[in-house]
Every structure is written in structure tokens, then in C-alpha cells.
Amino acid sequence: MADPPTPSIDDLPKALPDAPHLRLPYVWILPVIVVLAGVFVAIHDKIAQGESIEIRFRTADDLEPNKTKIRYKAVEIGDVKEIRVSKDRKEVIVEARIHRDARDYLVEDTRFWVVRPRITGANVTGLGTLVSGAYIGVDVGHSTVQSRQFTGLEVPPIVTSGLPGHEYVLHAGDIGSLSVGSGVFYRHISAGQVVAYSLDPGGASVTIKVFINSPYDTFVTRETRFWQASGIDMSIDSEGVRLHTESLAAVLEGGVAFQPVGDGPPSPPLPADTAFTLFTDRERAMRESDTPAQTFVMYFKGSLRGLSAGAPVDLRGINIGEVKRLSVEYDRSAGMLRFPVEVDIFPQRVRGRSKGTAETAAGDESSDAAQRAIIDSMVAHGMRAELKTGNLLTGQKYVAVDVHGGAAKERVRWDQNPPVFPTASGGLEEIQDSIGSVAKKLDKVPYDQISMRLMATLASLDQTLRSTDRLMRQVDDRIAPQVDATLKEAQEAMRSAKDALSPNGPGQNELGATLLELSRAARSVSALADYLERHPESLIRGKPRDPP
Amino acid sequence: MSELLTGRQLGLLVCTRCRATVRANPVGRSRCPRCRAPLHARKPASLATTAALLVTAALLYIPANVLPVMHTHQLFSDEDDTIMSGVISLAQQGSWPIALLVFFASIVVPLLKLVALGEIVIASSRRSVRNAQQRSRLYRVIEFVGRWSMIDVFAVSLLVALVQIQSLAEIEVRPGALAFAAVVVLTMIAARSFDERLLWDAEQRG
């Protein structure tokens, strides 16, 4: 610190004066800001933490605390915080936090389910969750009552509440191959899904709920028929083999099809939850519009083999009903078995197709008595039922109703229940009978004797043929040379004849002269004949002398 | 140890900009006659500023370590990592050197900086002269080592920029990183704003 030329402090320049100004330690605002920010974040977090809810599931498969998200329309609205087993150990309770802004979604009928990969017959869903892990899906309900306790669905709902469309109710005898999620088809277009089904109390039928998406729900009208479009519908009946399928999806997992019956103008769509009947097949659905049916019993003489329930009742090719039931009964009075065939006939079908002519009948077609009168008159005119074979290949039979001119007088026995319709043994049966008798007669022919005779005859025929053969050979050997010589001689004779007849031959001139003479002679004969005709007396008196 | 004179005692000021040594204005503030920069015997409000920055940094140190620094989204997992959990997972994967480096650079060093600077500030405000030399050395170490603490922030920002394979793997910055960066920056500024000469002022009075 002792530099040799130490400059005097006083030599140093003087600092310039500066205006005094206030200096606050403003940096202290920083920690204040940080603290304030911390408090703000803490409060915000506390608020944004959202609502704590409990969802009950059967298992906690694929769910993980702090990882599994809750998503509404694929937007995250919360996450799973804790999973524990319920006290009764039957379920798991998933505790989740829902973001504050999704608080309004937590109403009574809000549904929760676990979205995980699912592969059903025609659907593959949730593939994304294979990679990302499962999440909990939400469908917000319509209720206004808030709730914090929910029971999760085990299967994702088919129809979420936002989907436009309507739900309808179908009644059916059985569920067929339908299941929840089966398609509903309108003219083979996928138009909705089966949402739920349940067995009716009593267990005699099932109720199926279907959801039909907009805009197809507008086609559900009073004329609409629903039928099972499940799988492959193959039927063998008197009309042959028929194969009918809906789309491949329906083949795989069943489906329901619907369509309006007839081609009438479109009716106004029906409100949701309208009940319909679910028919077993399309044909039945389209056909059975014309109930009520009139049930008859028919007793046929022949075998009922080939006739089955569902076989058509045919009026000259027009289907007017179907066979309902076949059975056997003991007829006490006759001491014999009878085979009643119960058929349903739809009289309206007959009438509907002859409306123009049967206006009076149509007027009071509701009247039972009028109906009976019509049937009675038809029976009186010889209308009978008979069994006919519809398909020779399958042997299926049907009931044909037709007018038989020469039928014995009979009538419908209305006193029975159901009334008995008169029958006639069918044409084919008669043919069968006559064929039978022919066969019997053929049977009596002594085929073995005939065949033995035939054998003998054939043997002698063989012999004859052989001797003929021998004869022919003799002819060849002996007669042929002689024939040859004879022919040669004949040829010679012919040649000389030819020479004689040639125009320059010697005989020819003489022949000409002779012919000339002959014609002269003929002329004189003709003159003679002429004279004789004019003077027949000359034959007796001779030719008179020429007058001088 | 012989008495050491200071400029202040002689009524001299050194311009921190152009290093001109001038006589102080006896009344009021001074300005450098050469470069016109304001002249101070000591950095104004140095202790208060440093203390404020330190407090702020200390406050931010909590979220920096508690909140996640980054969010890793991989094909099968989503993960939030704090600094400590990052260190642990590095250690579990066997990358001990890196784990140690991160641990020291990101957890120990900032903490030490906070504690040491705090001690220095407190000691200076109390005008304690004991161990002033050690404090001075410590201060220099802190100043030197300060920038290295940013290693974590660099790592995260690099990763975020590099790993952006949509849906397969993605890394996002989380607020922890922000707080951590703030801690590092604030401690650096705090170190800068501390006037080292304050360490020795007490001795002068003493």
C-alpha cells in the first residue's frame, strides 16, 4: 500500500452532487407477491379440487387410483382418487373427484361405467383403452336432483342421453337370439339397437326395449311391424326351400327389423314407448295385419304326414289362412281315433280382395252371423277342404279349399267349438288309391312263368335264327352261281330284243305297213258302222241298190 | 493485523462503472464526474434487498421441491416427477453419478445457498466480525456455483423440446420447474445484490 508516487487524496476529482431521491426497498414486494400467489394457488386448488363422489362397481378391474380418469364425451372431468372394498365386501367403492365445472353433471340418473376394450359379435369398442388404460365413462342424466353416490354400470349403456331418437317397447313370446346391443334394421339399414329386455311377470312373454335413432324413428307409425331378423331364416315348406338373412351383423348377433306394412301414405310417427308386437319372422309380421282369425277344425281321411303347423290354407293359390295345430282325439261315439286339424282362416282376406263385388258383405263384415252365412253358402255350393301336396320334393302338404261340383251335401257344424269344416278326400288321394289298385293287379301277373316262357321262346328264336343263317349260306354257295348264269342269259335276250326294236331294224318297216293297213281297216269298219247306224235294215235286207 | 483503511473512511468513493476514485460529496448524493453514474459508499439497501430476495427464494423453494417439475406421458403411463422423485428413479435405474449430480446441483446447492446467504445477511446486519473471512470465501463460492444450479431447468427444457412424439411419449413442464428456476435466479440476484464490503464494515467500527 505504499506506492511511491502516492497521489494526494485531495488531488482526486470531486464527485458531482446528485439530487436526493427516495429509495424504498421495493424488493420486499417480491416475497409478498410470492406469498400472495401461494395463498391464491392454495385456495384455487382447494376450490378446483371439485366434488368428491363415490361410485360402486362390482370389481375394480382396470381401475387405478390417481391414474384412472373420468371422462364425459371423452373430455376429462375428474379422476379416481381412491378405491376400497365396501363393508359388506360385495362391491368396490371408487372415490373420485369431479372437477368443479362438471359439478352440474352429478345428478341422480347420471350413469358411470368402465370403458375397456370390448369385443362382441359385431362390435369392437374401447380399443384405445388397450393402450391408454381404462377410464370411467359418464352419461349425464336429466334429473335436477344432485347426488354424490352412484352405482356404476357393468356394461356400457347402449344409448347415451344426448342421442336423438326414441325408445319403443316390443312384446314377444321369446327373446330369440336377441341381446342387448343387437341391431334394429329398417330396410336393412342399421337404425337402432336393442337397449334392454326383461321377462314379463309370470314368465310367459318378454318385453324388449329398442332405441331407434333419429331420423328412422319417424318411420315408426301405426302401420309399422317389427319382426325378428335374427340369424339365418331357412324354411322348408310347401313352397320350397327359402333362405332369408338380414345383414351379417344381424346374422351374428341377432336383430330386429321393422317396416311399414303395405305401401300406403306415411302416417304420423308414434310417440316414444309405444308398444308393438315382435313377430317371429317377416312374413308373419306382414301377414297378420288381418286378424281376427276364424278357427275351424277339419277331419281328413288320409294321412296327415307332410302337414305341419304353419302350413298354408290355400284358396286357388291365394293364402287365406294357416294350419294351427295337428292332434289326435278319440271319438267316443264312433269308437275311433280322429285327427283334427285346426286351421286359422282370415275371412277378411277373402273379403278384402273382393271388396268391389261383395259390398254388402263388407258392410257388415264385423257381424259374426253375416260371416257365418257367407261361409255356409259357400259350403252349400260345394266348398270343401282337402289335403294337397305342395312340394313333391319335400312331401310338404297344405290345405286347399276349393269348390267341388259333385260333392255330397254337407254343412259347417257351428255347434262344435271350434266349428268343423267339411272336407273332401283330395284328388291326389284318389289317384293314389287307383294307383294302388293298379299296382295290386300288376302284382297278380305271373311274372315268373312269363319269364320262363320268354326264356324258351328266346331259345327257339335263337335256333331259328341259326338255321336261317345256314340257309342263307347255302343260298350263297349254290344258288348264287345259277342266278348269275340266268342273269347273263336274260341280258342276251334283252340285247336281241333291243336289236329287233331298233328303228332301222327289219321288223320296224313291216310294223309300219301293218299299222297302216290296220288303220285302213279301222276306217272301213267305222264307215260300215256308220252305215249300219243309218240303215240298220240293211243287215237283213242287204244294201239297197244305188238308185240309178 | 494492521488497520486497513477503506475509501469510506477517507471520504472517497469508487465508481462501480468506470472505476474512477473520487472524493465523496459531503452532503447529499454523489455522481461520477466521468461517467455520470450514481456513486454510493455501499450498494444502497443491499441487505434489505438481499434479504427480500432470499425470503422469496426460500418461499419458492418449497413448491419447487413439492410440485412436479415435469410430466412424462408415455404409451402406457402418465407420470409426474418432482426433483426428488427424479433423483430416486435415476438412482433406481443405476445412474448413480447422474443421480448424485442432480441431487447436489438441484437440491443441496440451492438449499446451501439459501442457508449460507441467509447466514451472511444475518451476520452482516448484526455487524458480527467473527469468521468474516470464511464468510467472504463462502460468498465467493456461492457466487461461483450459483449458475450451475440451473442444470435441472436446462435438463427439463431440453427434454420437453426433444421428446414430443405425440401420444407415444411426451414431456411437459409443470409449475415446479418454474418455481425452481425462480429459486435459482433469485438466489443469484440475491448474491449479486449483497455488498460484500458489508462483511468488513463492522470491523471498521469495531
Give the confidence band of A2 by pLDDT, cuts at 50, 70, 90: very low
pLDDT (tens digit per residue) in A133-151: 788 888 888 888 888 889 8
Residues sharing a CB contact under 8 Å with residue A308, sequence separation 6 or more, in sequence order? A237, A323, A326, A396
Using CA coordinates, name the residue in chain B closest to A16: B31
- Give me the residue from B23, B32, B34 closest to A9, CB to CB: B23
Q: Are A114 and A137 in contact (CB under 8 A)?
A: yes
Query: What pLDDT shows up at residue B153?
Result: 75
Using CA coordinates, name the residue in chain A closest to B32: A15
Q: What is the mean pLDDT of residues A466-489?
A: 88
The Cα A460–Cα A462 span in angstroms is 5
B31 and A30 within 8 Å at the Cβ level: the answer is: no
* Residue A345, all three cell numbers: 282362416
Using CA coordinates, name the residue in chain B closest to A10: B23
Best residue in B5, B59, B121, B166 for a mutation probing chain A (most A CBs within 10 Å): B59
Q: What is the DSSP string of A139-164?
A: E--S--SB-SEEE-BSS--SS-TT--
Query: What pLDDT shows up at residue B85?
Result: 86
B31 and A15 within 8 Å at the Cβ level: the answer is: yes
Q: Tell me which chain A residues have a C-beta less than 8 angstroms from the C-beta of B76.
A: 131, 133
Query: What pLDDT shows up at residue A466?
Result: 93
What percentage of chain A exceeds 70 in pLDDT?
Answer: 85
| A23 lies within 8 A of chain B by CB | yes
What percentage of chain A exceeds 90 in pLDDT?
Answer: 9
Q: Are A454 and A447 in contact (CB under 8 A)?
A: no
Radius of gyration of chain A (CA): 57
The Cα A468–Cα A393 span in angstroms is 53
What percentage of chain B exceeds 90 in pLDDT?
Answer: 0
**Residue A95: phi, psi to the nearest 5?**
-100, 130
A10 and B23 within 8 Å at the Cβ level: the answer is: yes
Query: What pLDDT shows up at residue A353?
Result: 47
pLDDT (tens digit per residue) in B28-47: 778 888 888 888 777 777 78
Q: Which of B60, B48, B68, B50 is nearest to B111 (CA)?
A: B60
Query: What pLDDT shows up at residue A41?
Result: 85
Q: What is the mean pLDDT of residues A33-61?
A: 85
Distances A357 to A130, A308, A362 between C-alpha atoms, Å: 70, 34, 9
Query: What pLDDT shows up at residue B65?
Result: 87
Give the confidence band of B202 by pLDDT, cuts at 50, 70, 90: low
Q: What is the mean pLDDT of residues A399-405?
A: 80
Among A12-26, A312-326, B131-145, the least confident range: A12-26
Instruction: Calculate ∠ Cα A483-A484-A487, nearest 5°.
Output: 85
Q: What is the mean pLDDT of residues A6-30?
A: 68
- Cβ-based interface (< 8 Å): residues of B facing A: 10-13, 20-25, 27-34, 36, 38-39, 44-45, 48-49, 52-53, 55-56, 59-60, 63, 75-76, 78, 186, 193
- Give me the residue from A9, A20, A31 closest to B55, CB to CB: A31
Which of A131-135, A362-366, B55-59 is most confident? B55-59
| A44 lies within 8 A of chain B by CB | no
Query: What pLDDT shows up at residue A398?
Result: 85
pLDDT at A256 over 80: yes
Q: How many CA atoms within 13 Å lie on the side-chain side of A100?
A: 7
pLDDT (tens digit per residue) in A52-84: 899 999 888 888 888 888 888 888 888 888 899
Greatest alpha-carbon pair distance for chain B in Å reads: 73
Q: Tell me which chain B residues have a C-beta less than 8 angstroms from the C-beta of A25.
A: 45, 48-49, 52
pLDDT (tens digit per residue) in A324-363: 888 888 888 888 888 888 888 877 666 544 444 444 444 4
| A6 lies within 8 A of chain B by CB | no
pLDDT (tens digit per residue) in A98-115: 888 888 888 888 889 888
Best residue in B6, B9, B21, B29 for a mutation probing chain A (most A CBs within 10 Å): B29
Query: What pLDDT shows up at residue A440?
Result: 86
Query: What pLDDT shows up at residue A230?
Result: 67
User: Does the pTM of the predicted model rise above 0.80?
Assistant: no
Q: Which domains does chain B have, with CATH numbers?
A: 1-41 (no CATH), 44-205 (1.20.140)
* Residue B122, all three cell numbers: 444475518
Residue with cell 412424439: B165
Q: Are A403 and A383 in contact (CB under 8 A)?
A: yes
pLDDT at A232 over 80: no
Distances A147 to A105, A268, B51, B198 between C-alpha atoms, Å: 9, 39, 51, 65
Q: What is the mean pLDDT of residues A205-215?
A: 88
Domain ranges of chain A: 46-151, 165-288, 296-439, 506-541
**Please, where are the H alpha helices in B45-148?**
46-66, 83-92, 96-102, 109-126, 132-145
Which of A248-252, B52-56, B169-173 is most confident? B52-56
Q: 3-state class of A329 per DSSP?
A: strand
| A405 lies within 8 A of chain B by CB | no
Q: What is the mean pLDDT of residues A80-96?
A: 90
**b/e per residue B170-182 (b: at least 16 CB within 10 A):** ebbbbebbbbbbb
- Give me the residue from B11, B23, B52 closest to A28, CB to CB: B52
A13 and B23 within 8 Å at the Cβ level: the answer is: yes
Q: Are B46 and B196 in contact (CB under 8 A)?
A: no
| A22 lies within 8 A of chain B by CB | no
| Number of C-beta neighbours around residue A305 at 10 A | 9
Give the confidence band of A163 by pLDDT, cuts at 50, 70, 90: confident
**ipTM computed for the complex:** 0.72
Distance from CA of A51 to the nearest CA of B (A): 22
pLDDT at A1 over 60: no
B33 and A13 within 8 Å at the Cβ level: the answer is: yes
* Residue A222, all three cell numbers: 301405426
Q: What is the mean pLDDT of residues A435-446?
A: 84
Mean pLDDT, chain A, whole residue set: 80
**Which of residues A404 and A522 earns the better pLDDT score?**
A522
* Residue A441, all three cell numbers: 293287379
Residue with cell 455520470: B36
Distance from CA of B135 to the nearest CA of A (A): 24
Residues sharing a CB contact under 8 Å with residue A50, sequence separation 6 or more, in sequence order? A78, A97, A98, A99, A100, A102, A103
- Give me the residue from A17, A25, A38 closest to B30, CB to CB: A17
B52 and A9 within 8 Å at the Cβ level: the answer is: no
Q: What is the DSSP string of A29-85?
A: HHHHHHHHHHHHHHHHHHHHT-EEEEEEES--TT--TTT-EEEETTEEEEEEEEEEE
The Cα B86–Cα A349 span in angstroms is 84
Query: What pLDDT shows up at residue A300?
Result: 82
pLDDT at A25 over 70: no
